[in-house]
C-alpha cells in the first residue's frame, strides 16, 4: 500500500505564524528577563526560527528529554537526559517544544522547571493536538492546532528522520 504525503503547513504558513508568536512574546516580556528553554531534539528548528524573531535580548538554553523513543505514541514516561545550564531562579521562562500531544512531557518538564524557582513558566509549541491530551495542560503560545495526525517535518521526526524537511506533513493512504 502506497501512502502519499499531505502537506499540512507550508514553509510560508510556518514562517508567518512563527513571526506572530515572536511578536506576542516580545510584547508580553518587554521589560522582563526572559530565558527560552528548548526541549531537544524536536524543538530545535522551531526554536531557532522563533528566537531570531523575538525583539529583545534573551537567554537560550536547552533541556534534553525523551518520551517517544522511535514510536508514534508517547510512552508517558518523561526522562530528562540533560539539564539546563542557566540559573533561572527569579527569571521568566518559556519552554519551547515541537508539539503538545498527551501533555505529559510539558507538564512534567514544567513541574521540574518550577522546582528551580523561576518567576514564571509558560509553554510554547509549534503544534497543539488537544484531542490526545491526557493531562490538564494547554500551551500558552502555539502555532497551529491539529487533528489526530501523525506529522513529521520542521523538527518533528519519525525514527530520527524528517526533522530537516522545511514544512509539516502527514501521510494518507
Which residue matches cell numbers 514553509? 11
Task: Scan for cell 505564524, then name that residue.
Answer: 17
**Catalytic residue selected from 92, 101, 108, 128:** 101
Which residue pairs, CB below 8 angstroms and at least 24 apart, start in 17-23?
A: 17/143, 17/144, 18/46, 18/49, 18/50, 18/53, 18/143, 19/53, 21/50, 21/53, 21/124, 21/141, 21/142, 21/143, 22/50, 22/51, 22/53, 22/54, 22/55, 23/53, 23/55
CA 117/CA 103 separation, integer angstroms: 22
Q: Tell me whether residue 101 is one of the annotated catalytic residues.
A: yes
Catalytic residues: 101
Amino acid at each position: 500500500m502506497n501512502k502519499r504525503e499531505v502537506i499540512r503547513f507550508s514553509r510560508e504558513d510556518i514562517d508567518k505564524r512563527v513571526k506572530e508568536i515572536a511578536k506576542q512574546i516580545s510584547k508580553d516580556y518587554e521589560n522582563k528577563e526572559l530565558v527560552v528553554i528548548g526541549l531537544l531534539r524536536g524543538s530545535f528548528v522551531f526554536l531557532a526560527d522563533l528566537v531570531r524573531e523575538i525583539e529583545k535580548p534573551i537567554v537560550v538554553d536547552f533541556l534534553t528529554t525523551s518520551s517517544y523513543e522511535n514510536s508514534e505514541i508517547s510512552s508517558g514516561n518523561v526522562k530528562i537526559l540533560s539539564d539546563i545550564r542557566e540559573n533561572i531562579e527569579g527569571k521568566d521562562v518559556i519552554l519551547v517544544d515541537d508539539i503538545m500531544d498527551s501533555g505529559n512531557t510539558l507538564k512534567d518538564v514544567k513541574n521540574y522547571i518550577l522546582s528551580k524557582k523561576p518567576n514564571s513558566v509558560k509553554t510554547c509549541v509549534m503544534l497543539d493536538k488537544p484531542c490526545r491530551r491526557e493531562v490538564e495542560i494547554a500551551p500558552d503560545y502555539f502555532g497551529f492546532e491539529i487533528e489526530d495526525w501523525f506529522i513529521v517535518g520542521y523538527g518533528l521526526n519519525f525514527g530520527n528522520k524528517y526533522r530537516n524537511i522545511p514544512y509539516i506533513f502527514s501521510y494518507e493512504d
